[in-house]
Structure 1
Amino acid sequence: MAAETPPFSPVIALLTVAAIWDARLEHELRDLGLSTRKYALLAHVEATPGISFSELARRSQITVQSVHTAARSLAEAGFVVDANAHAGAASDLRVTPEGIRLLRAADARLAALDATFGGGAPTLTSALEGLHERPFEGSAASE
């Protein structure tokens, strides 16, 4: 007797699609010295100069410790600076000119992947765009 095919799950399908495209973006960013997480953090810092580690963690949905580790790596590479880098002071993270150049290179690679994805799945792209504009009410993302 053959196993019954499980019902379609849009959540599982979306997670699968997300994992595939996350891996593709990770591959595109690797030679720039970025991971998808570091790219996202760098983009958040550029969009909100002076952002704190705790706010960066909240927006990225990762721990403050993980943000500190990634930010330290980005700072050592010369892509971000903490204008208040002394004990007891709130952080003041900012992207350096080198970090901005890196972000533009990463943005171009993301745009190419977006074009590939959008060309292959225009209906899904439109649906995702609609979700971005109005997240689900009552979901953890909207809280």
Structure 2
Amino acid sequence: MSVMMSPTMLLILLGRSLRERIDDSLAGQGLSLRHLSALGHLVRVPGISYSELGRRAGVTAQSMQATVRQLEELGAVERDSPAGRGRTAELRVTPHGHAVLRDFRQRIADVDALLMGALPPDRQREFAPMLMRMADSALAPEPEKPGG
């Protein structure tokens, strides 16, 4: 007999499992999702500040500085300006950093294929749009309560 589980709990468990799978696949390279998130933001928003990178990743600017320093050590990011208090760091993703991102996208595609393989082909096309609708609903700001 199967017990019906909450969709929210299933998504939490699924998310944790998928994150662990991705993190495990990256560990050998000294990378984590935080590193790849920072790389992705640096590619899309050149000149982004540590503070903004941190906000987008849900960490402090200091923590993001450590993450970027690790990316520099790995050769994925280069600083085009000297570091200094109050200065905006001019960071750019190196060719190696772009290769790391391509590899990461392939890892994500592999996990997507595994996940989608659990669905019949006619349902696979519906899956991502359905998840997007669920995310939009769950992440929408709550309406203000009367008298509050």
TM-score by length of 2: 0.77
Deviation, structure 1 residue 85: 2.6
Aligned to 1:42: 39
Aligned to 1:66: 63
Unaligned runs of 5+ in 1: none
| Structure 1 pair 132–96 and aligned structure 2 pair: CA distance change class (3 A) | farther
Q: For residues 25-104 of structure 1, what are the structure 2 equivalents within 5 Å?
A: 25-87=22-84, 88-104=86-102
Structure possessing the higher radius of gyration over alpha carbons: 2
Partner letter of residue 97 of structure 1?
Answer: P
Once residues 129 and 115 of structure 1 are traced to their aligned partners in structure 2, the CA distance between those partners, rounded to angstroms, is 18
Indicate if the aligned counterparts of 1:78 and 1:96 stay in contact, CA closer than 8 A.
yes
Once residues 59 and 97 of structure 2 are traced to their aligned partners in structure 1, the CA distance between those partners, rounded to angstroms, is 21
SS in 2 for 1:120: coil
> How much is the aligned-residue C-alpha RMSD, in angstroms?
2.3
Aligned to 2:145: none
SS in 1 for 2:46: coil
Deviation, structure 1 residue 74: 0.5
TM-score by length of 1: 0.80
| Structure 1 pair 91–43 and aligned structure 2 pair: CA distance change class (3 A) | same
Alignment counterpart, residue 107 of structure 1, candidates 94, 101, 105: 105
Indicate if the aligned counterparts of 1:32 and 1:102 stay in contact, CA closer than 8 A.
no
Unaligned runs of 5+ in 2: 143-148
Higher relative contact order, chain-length normalized (CA < 8 Å, sep 6+)? 1
Aligned identity (percent) is 32
Aligned to 1:21: 18
Indicate if the aligned counterparts of 1:118 and 1:125 stay in contact, CA closer than 8 A.
no
Once residues 53 and 131 of structure 1 are traced to their aligned partners in structure 2, the CA distance between those partners, rounded to angstroms, is 31
Comparing 75-84 and 14-23, the one that deviates more: 75-84
Partner letter of residue 70 of structure 2?
Answer: S
